[in-house]
Chain A
Amino acid sequence: MVSAAPIAEVLLHNRSNPDCIQRNEIFCPGWAVDNFNRYVDPVIQHVVLVLASVCIGFAIAFALSLLAHRHRWLSPTFLGATGVLYTIPSIAFFFLLLPITGRGRTTAIIALTAFTLQIIYRNVTTGLANVPADIKDAGRGMGLTDRPLLWRVEIPLAMPEIIAGLRIATVSTVALATLAVFVNGGGLGVEIYTAGNLTFKTGIVIAGTLAILLALAFDLILVAIGRRATTWRRVASG
């Protein structure tokens, strides 16, 4: 509360100075305060885009990893296919889908999902491959068959790699989702690209900053989930 007064003064000072918008300065705090509400919907749309893409991407990539874990010969195919999807720039992907799914959120989610597959797939398979053989032997010695061994030994031990993959995929997707505006997919890009906004610095700065903060928030949540999912680490070190 101590710092509230000076900040209020700064805001008042800028508000009493409408020239800020006229001169298109880098950041006009007065405008930001007055227009706070216009960013609510884009942020929600952005969160929906990212959550949908990463969740669907995780479901597909995780299933592919388990398949490749059991049938090793599938791995090069999956790696190649997800690699192609990863390499195609999202913005090109949006418009490749245009004749099939048209303009809209679905198109954006499909393209962003395709982008996340390789990142998650690589991390899950690496995590599973790095589980030490003697630990798996110990599990077998305790009577675990393939499936319980996978779910109770291999996946928990691969969890740090899996979470690391999810973090990379999520943070990158938050940044890429700003491009969804080009196919009317909504999100924070709307506040950057919509007519006239490409030259309005305050609008760009606010939308860009919100996107970075969103990425940071998602990252922190995933770190927390990772902590909870690897309780064995604390037991082992304690």
Chain B
Amino acid sequence: MEAGGERMSGLVPHLSLGALGLFGDAFDFIFHQQPAKTGGGLATVGGLDQVGTLAVEQLKVTVLALGLSIAIAFPIGAYLGHRGAGEGMALAIGNAGRAIPELALIAFMAAAIGVGLGNLTMALAVLGIPPILTNTYVGISQVDRNAVEAARGMGMTGGEVIRRVELPLAVPTIMSGVRTATINIVATATIAPLVGVLTLGDFILSRNVYGDEGVLAGAILVALMALALELSLAGIQWLMTSPGLRLGRE
């Protein structure tokens, strides 16, 4: 009887406040510590401290994986685009990359190679490389050949042509690849707790510890982080675009 009564009283406010109630609980979870659902109420969860720790971890993993993706994909894409070679390969990598199932990739990396930050970074970089490589290739190979000819006529070397003509003109396309890569990586970093790296996804995946309000709080935080990253990258793209190109673009 007692258990039944408890369940009823737990349900009633839930039903009466409806969906908004749980959102309220989720914000409460973000800002205030509360007892964990398991462990006899000894441990506390939630609150800005834990949110901060997990958010920093997710950001760290994302930045590491993005850095690794750029370090691998950008030079290859830029070189191929500059030479105008390997179009089939550059485009095929981009297409194939989209078909990689995120969950299977993470699970496979964990099961076959092992858990931990290093392996996770590698797995996430696999998701970031295709869009960056393809967009860098497309951006640079699409630069007007007349502009390149003009640059050569002015006496620029191959390296100077890449740095001072091709890259500035390709910035919008390259950055759009970096943004796609970032969204893929930060989204997949949410399931990183499956391989032992505790990111904001831990709130989502460990419902037995954090409860439904923790799960929802995790979802809100992950969504906000992705949007914040996307906005920052849009800002960086604007700063990186040559001032002469900002106004003249159709």
User: Chain A residues with Cβ under 8 A from B186's Cβ?
Assistant: 89
Q: How far is the CB of B43 from chain A (nearest CB, A)?
A: 22
Q: Are B187 and A192 in contact (CB under 8 A)?
A: no
Q: Are A89 and B104 in contact (CB under 8 A)?
A: no
Q: Are B183 and A87 in contact (CB under 8 A)?
A: yes
Docked pose: A174 CA to B102 CA in angstroms: 10
Q: Are A204 and B107 in contact (CB under 8 A)?
A: yes
User: Looking at the complex, which one of B99, B215, B220 makes contact with A212 (CB distance below 8 Å)?
Assistant: B99
Q: Are A89 and B222 in contact (CB under 8 A)?
A: yes
User: Looking at the complex, which one of A92, A100, A176 makes contact with B190 (CB distance below 8 Å)?
Assistant: A92
User: Looking at the complex, which one of B21, B112, B204, B212 makes contact with A182 (CB distance below 8 Å)?
Assistant: B204
Q: How far is the CB of A106 from chain B (nearest CB, A)?
A: 15
Docked pose: A197 CA to B103 CA in angstroms: 12
B21, B22, B23, B111 pick with most chain A CB within 10 angstroms? B111
Q: Are B99 and A88 in contact (CB under 8 A)?
A: no
The verdict on A211 contacting chain B, using a C-beta distance below 8 Å, is yes
Docked pose: A226 CA to B49 CA in angstroms: 52
User: Looking at the complex, which one of A94, A96, A100, A199 makes contact with B220 (CB distance below 8 Å)?
Assistant: A96
Q: How far is the CB of B206 from chain A (nearest CB, A)?
A: 12
User: Looking at the complex, which one of A24, A84, A92, A201 makes contact with B219 (CB distance below 8 Å)?
Assistant: A92
The verdict on B208 contacting chain A, using a C-beta distance below 8 Å, is no
User: Chain A residues with Cβ under 8 A from B99's Cβ?
Assistant: 171, 174-175, 211-212, 215-216, 219
Q: How far is the CB of A134 from chain B (nearest CB, A)?
A: 18
Could you tell me how many residues of chain A have their Cβ less than 8 Å away from some Cβ of chain B? 46
Docked pose: A24 CA to B100 CA in angstroms: 23
Q: How far is the CB of A196 from chain B (nearest CB, A)?
A: 11
Q: How far is the CB of B157 from chain A (nearest CB, A)?
A: 36
Report the nearest B residue to A84, measured CB to CB.
B227
Q: Are B204 and A92 in contact (CB under 8 A)?
A: yes
User: Looking at the complex, which one of B22, B98, B201, B205 makes contact with A99 (CB distance below 8 Å)?
Assistant: B22
User: Chain A residues with Cβ under 8 A from B23's Cβ?
Assistant: 99
Q: Are B219 and A95 in contact (CB under 8 A)?
A: yes
User: Looking at the complex, which one of A92, A172, A188, A205 makes contact with B226 (CB distance below 8 Å)?
Assistant: A92
User: Chain B residues with Cβ under 8 A from A208's Cβ?
Assistant: 101, 104-105, 107-108
Q: Are B219 and A87 in contact (CB under 8 A)?
A: no
- Within 46-104 of A, Cβ neighbours of B (below 8 Å) are at 83-84, 86-96, 98-100
Q: Are A179 and B103 in contact (CB under 8 A)?
A: yes
The verdict on A189 contacting chain B, using a C-beta distance below 8 Å, is yes
The verdict on B230 contacting chain A, using a C-beta distance below 8 Å, is yes
Q: Are A95 and B230 in contact (CB under 8 A)?
A: no
Q: Are B104 and A178 in contact (CB under 8 A)?
A: yes
Q: Are A91 and B108 in contact (CB under 8 A)?
A: no
Could you tell me how many residues of chain B have their Cβ less than 8 Å away from some Cβ of chain A? 40
User: Chain A residues with Cβ under 8 A from B38's Cβ?
Assistant: none
Q: Are B111 and A93 in contact (CB under 8 A)?
A: no
Report the nearest B residue to A215, measured CB to CB.
B99
Given A192-B103, A211-B101, A215-B99, do A92 and B111 touch, yes or no (CB 8 Å)? no
Contact with B along A200-211 (1 / 0, CB 8 A): 110011011001
Q: Are A175 and B223 in contact (CB under 8 A)?
A: no
Docked pose: A170 CA to B164 CA in angstroms: 38
- Within 204-236 of A, Cβ neighbours of B (below 8 Å) are at 204-205, 207-208, 211-212, 215-216, 219
Q: Are B226 and A89 in contact (CB under 8 A)?
A: yes
Q: Are A26 and B112 in contact (CB under 8 A)?
A: yes
Docked pose: A109 CA to B207 CA in angstroms: 22
Report the nearest B residue to A167, measured CB to CB.
B95
Q: How far is the CB of A133 from chain B (nearest CB, A)?
A: 14
Docked pose: A24 CA to B219 CA in angstroms: 34
Given A171-B95, A193-B107, A198-B194, do A93 and B223 touch, yes or no (CB 8 Å)? yes
Q: Are A201 and B108 in contact (CB under 8 A)?
A: yes
Report the nearest B residue to A193, measured CB to CB.
B103
Given A91-B190, A201-B112, do A192 and B107 touch, yes or no (CB 8 Å)? yes
A-B contact pairs, 18 of them (CB 8 A): A26-B112, A87-B183, A89-B190, A89-B226, A92-B190, A94-B219, A95-B216, A168-B98, A171-B99, A175-B101, A178-B101, A188-B101, A192-B103, A192-B104, A198-B107, A204-B111, A211-B99, A216-B99
Question: A199-B110, A201-B111, A208-B104 are known contacts; what are 7 more A-B pairs with Cβ within 8 Å?
Answer: A91-B190, A91-B222, A99-B18, A175-B98, A178-B101, A179-B103, A199-B111
Interface residues, chain A, with chain B CB atoms under 8 Å away: 24, 26, 83-84, 86-96, 98-100, 168, 171-172, 174-176, 178-179, 181-182, 188-189, 192-193, 197-201, 204-205, 207-208, 211-212, 215-216, 219
